[in-house]
Structure 1
Amino acid sequence: MIAWRSLIFISAVFTLWSLALPPSLASPANASVFLEDQTWTELRDLIGAGTTTIIIPIGGTEQNGPAMALGKHNVRVKFLAAKIAARLGNALVAPVISYVPEGTVDPPTAHMKFPGTITISDKTFEQLLESAARSFKLHGFKTIVLIGDHGSYQADESHVADRLNAEWSKTPVRVFAALEYYRITQRAYVDKLLAAGAKRSEIGTHAGLADTSLMLAVDPSLVRKDRLARTPMLNAGDGVYGGDPARSSAELGQLGVDLIVNGTAEAIQGFVEKQPK
């Protein structure tokens, strides 16, 4: 009898404790950092409780050599954005933008020479980012962060941030083009790979050891491991630019994951701290 009374007491205490929690903590659904996973009322409550940073992850749909799937950038940026949001503690992640500038169609340039790559104009891309940012401003977000996994539109991110920040200068809302996210992949990550024994000739600029290792650390299902030992074609005809993915590994990729998550989170925190209170 005493045991049952104890259980009833503990259950009652737990129920009261749960009811006292803010909505963002009381509801298991809100454990997700993805905007898409929230209901509108859950989102309203999260914003009201101080989750006022939204990360817009930008990917791209393009060829990634014979060993990596077309959705590499989209899967990778969503994964890393979630890690960054969790590190920040007061941020959510918007749906991935997967349609980005990838070159021209007529004549086909850059990755558009390979089947599966999708492109839009820089103007359309910037309008898309602006519309998303205006939506988030309307709903109460104060810091709108752009992170891009692809090098072709880094300048576009800055253009959008500069225009909207000038327009919104008398409001508390700011847009941050977190270019550090991409810069890390081109500098600090490369240095880490070299220190770990990788050769500069292997690292490459696209679909080489650096790129492929990062994908293996994020989602190995998108990498065809049996195709990593490549037979190079003339003029990067197989879509691998300036590198060799044969020795790629998740362990090497994790070096990049840690650098990107920590470095980008710190950059976002620094930007927020500089804003007027």
Structure 2
Amino acid sequence: MKNLVYLLLVVISIPVSALATEQATDPSTREMDRINWMEFQEWIPNKINTVLLPTGTLEPHGVANNGADNTAPFAISTTIAKRTNAMVAPTLAYGMTGSLAAYPGAFKMSAEVYKPFVKEILQGLVKNKFKNIIIINGHGGGQTAVLKEVAAEIANEHGVRTLVINWWSFAADITQEVFNENGGHAGWNENAFIQAIDPSLIQQDRYNDDLATPYPQNGSWSATPFPSSIGLYQEGEGYIKFDQKKADEYFTKVTDKMASFIVEIKTKWDKAGL
């Protein structure tokens, strides 16, 4: 009886916070701008050494929000963070908007400013002891080339491992699988992705097919600004249909593929001893 009482006293004397820490299998949040610095120190890098960095820009997207290129990679990152055992860095919301820069609400950063800015951010992630830096990119054009270039420089200069993924092109096969046709900038695929994340960001009543223009094939013409905020990759395909079931299916399949791929790349890095 005395031994039992002594054991109970020992258990009661252990701080509740200590028990919670021992039992915790996940940090209180996966978002870097929401976590406390002391908790961050407890988890990084001993338990988590991967960070997901969403990158995008502000530009028109048909009847979706101007920040769709930020909304998508952030939602992907928070959805797959636990499966990839990663933290999520704050979104880099300003990027290298191209031929849509003249539209209301758009912002444009030059490569001369964007490249050193991104490099400083990646260096900060290295300083915070992340071994794997995964850029989940939501905007293409020249921005993709800059991100790949800077990510390679950081990997070689600091001995870390970097990966850049353009989610929409990575998911091109899933676009065909779910919609049975090609998509486009702010086309059915991207609009559906945003619709799955937050339907309130889609203004369906403003849509008509005349808002879309197919991109020129074989460089046959060029227009600045581009005449439509919806650019179709292929003639006759990608016009928006507001199908919530397909939107949800698309989001699930894209994020599943992204998570599996990141885990696969990390496993191969580890096996190679890199």
Q: TM-score range by the shorter chain?
A: 0.7 to 0.9
Q: 1:154 aligns with which of 144, 149, 163?
A: 144
For 2:49 and 2:139, how far apart are their aligned partners in 1?
Answer: 26
| 1:189 Cα deviation after fit | 2.5
Kindly indicate whether residue 202 of structure 2 is the aligned counterpart of residue 223 of structure 1: yes
**Residues 57 and 96 of structure 1 are in contact (CA less than 8 Å); yes or no, is this contact kept in structure 2?**
yes
Q: 2:175 aligns with which of 190, 214, 228?
A: 190
| 1:129 Cα deviation after fit | 1.9
**Residues 28 and 35 of structure 2 are in contact (CA less than 8 Å); yes or no, is this contact kept in structure 1?**
no
Q: 2:262 aligns with which of 263, 268, 271?
A: 268
Q: Residues 135, 230 of structure 1: CA spacing in aligned structure 2 closer, same or farther, 3 A cutoff?
A: same
- The residue that corresponds to 1:129 in the other structure is 118
**Residues 56 and 96 of structure 1 are in contact (CA less than 8 Å); yes or no, is this contact kept in structure 2?**
yes
How do 1:62-101 residues align onto structure 2 when only pairs under 5 Å count? 62-65=59-62, 67-88=63-84, 90-101=85-96
Q: Deviations over 1:146-176 (max 9, x none)?
A: 11012222222211122122212xx4x2222
Q: 1:214 aligns with which of 188, 193, 213?
A: 193
**Residues 210 and 248 of structure 1 are in contact (CA less than 8 Å); yes or no, is this contact kept in structure 2?**
no
| 1:269 Cα deviation after fit | 1.6
Aligned residue for 2:81, secondary structure, equals: helix
Q: Report the residue type matching 1:218 in the other structure.
A: I
Structure 1 or 2: larger helix share? 1
**Residues 55 and 92 of structure 2 are in contact (CA less than 8 Å); yes or no, is this contact kept in structure 1?**
yes
**Residues 138 and 168 of structure 2 are in contact (CA less than 8 Å); yes or no, is this contact kept in structure 1?**
yes
Q: Deviations over 1:222-244 (max 9, x none)?
A: 11121234444778744222242
For 1:123 and 1:178, how far apart are their aligned partners in 2?
Answer: 22
**Residues 192 and 255 of structure 1 are in contact (CA less than 8 Å); yes or no, is this contact kept in structure 2?**
no
Aligned residue for 1:41, secondary structure, equals: helix
Q: Residues 149, 20 of structure 1: CA spacing in aligned structure 2 closer, same or farther, 3 A cutoff?
A: same
Q: CA RMSD in A?
A: 2.7
Q: Report the residue type matching 1:126 in the other structure.
A: K
**Residues 63 and 239 of structure 1 are in contact (CA less than 8 Å); yes or no, is this contact kept in structure 2?**
yes
For 1:160 and 1:191, how far apart are their aligned partners in 2?
Answer: 31
Q: Deviations over 1:13-51 (max 9, x none)?
A: 79767623437928x9x3321101111111111115411
TM-score (norm: length of structure 1): 0.78
Kindly indicate whether residue 157 of structure 2 is the aligned counterpart of residue 178 of structure 1: no
- The residue that corresponds to 1:106 in the other structure is none
Q: Deviations over 1:161-197 (max 9, x none)?
A: 22122212xx4x2222234x33233x112212344xx
TM-score (norm: length of structure 2): 0.79
- The residue that corresponds to 1:163 in the other structure is 153
Deviates more, 1:44-53 or 1:248-257: 248-257
Count of residue correspondences: 245
Deviates more, 1:227-236 or 1:35-44: 227-236
For 2:212 and 2:132, how far apart are their aligned partners in 1?
Answer: 45
Q: Report the residue type matching 1:263 in the other structure.
A: K
Q: 1:39 aligns with which of 31, 36, 39?
A: 36
Q: Residues 13, 269 of structure 1: CA spacing in aligned structure 2 closer, same or farther, 3 A cutoff?
A: farther
Q: 1:244 aligns with which of 215, 239, 262?
A: 239
How do 1:134-145 residues align onto structure 2 when only pairs under 5 Å count? 134-145=123-134
For 1:36 and 1:252, how far apart are their aligned partners in 2?
Answer: 32
Name the % identity: 21
Unaligned stretches of 5+ residues in structure 1: 1-8, 104-109
